[in-house]
């Protein structure tokens, strides 16, 4: 499920990104997509491939560490430490949801913070070195 008007376009610095033709109000569910859940031990092999950049940690409370590959458009959302959206995991339904945290003007890139919380400034793997 995605809202109407989403489109993929090239960004200046990050390759492809997700955008919307229409303004998006705060607290709007932009997308809900299924995920493919994998055992945590598979992460080591996935990290040696291009898929590394598209794998999310997936660890329901009280369970062993796992990972997942998000489907739909979710792999296209770029990172920002001050993102305009946040993502949520639904472990029972095995889905991820993208939801706006503020109003997003038409044409602005839709971003998520790869740390999970929309305003978490902890350095992500590609900025850590």
- Give the start-to-end residue ranges of the domains of the chain: 6-112
| CATH class for the region spanning 6-112 | mainly beta
Mean pLDDT of the chain: 88
Q: Which residues of 46-82 are buried (b: 16+ CB within 10 A; e: fewer)?
A: eeeeeeeeebbebeeeeeeebbbbbebbbbbbbbbbe
**Confidence at residue 120, expressed as pLDDT on a 0 to 100 scale:** 52
pLDDT in tens, 45-89: 888 888 877 888 898 888 888 999 999 999 999 888 889 999 999
**Confidence at residue 67, expressed as pLDDT on a 0 to 100 scale:** 92
C-alpha to C-alpha distance for 72 and 34, rounded to whole angstroms: 7
Structure tokens of 14? 């990050």
| Whether residue 14 has pLDDT greater than 80 | no
The model carries a pTM of 0.85
Averaged over 22-45, what is the pLDDT?
Answer: 94
Structure tokens of 32? 């809900």
| Whether residue 4 has pLDDT greater than 80 | yes
Averaged over 101-119, what is the pLDDT?
Answer: 84
Q: Coil, strand, or helix at residue 74?
A: helix
**Confidence at residue 117, expressed as pLDDT on a 0 to 100 scale:** 54
List helix spans (H) across 27-94.
43-46
Averaged over 94-100, what is the pLDDT?
Answer: 97
């Amino acid at each position: 499920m995605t809202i109407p008007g989403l489109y993929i376009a090239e960004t200046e610095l990050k390759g492809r990104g997700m955008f919307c033709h229409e303004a998006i109000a705060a607290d709007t569910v932009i997308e809900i997509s299924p995920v493919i859940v994998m055992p945590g031990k598979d992460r080591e092999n996935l990290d040696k491939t291009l898929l590394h950049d598209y794998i999310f940690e997936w660890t329901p409370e009280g369970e062993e560490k796992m990972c997942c590959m998000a489907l739909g458009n979710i792999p296209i959302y770029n990172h920002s430490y001050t993102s305009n959206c946040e993502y949520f995991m639904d472990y029972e339904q095995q889905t991820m949801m993208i939801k706006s945290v503020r109003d997003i003007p038409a044409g602005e890139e839709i971003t998520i913070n790869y740390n999970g919380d929309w305003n978490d400034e902890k350095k992500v793997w590609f900025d850590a070195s």
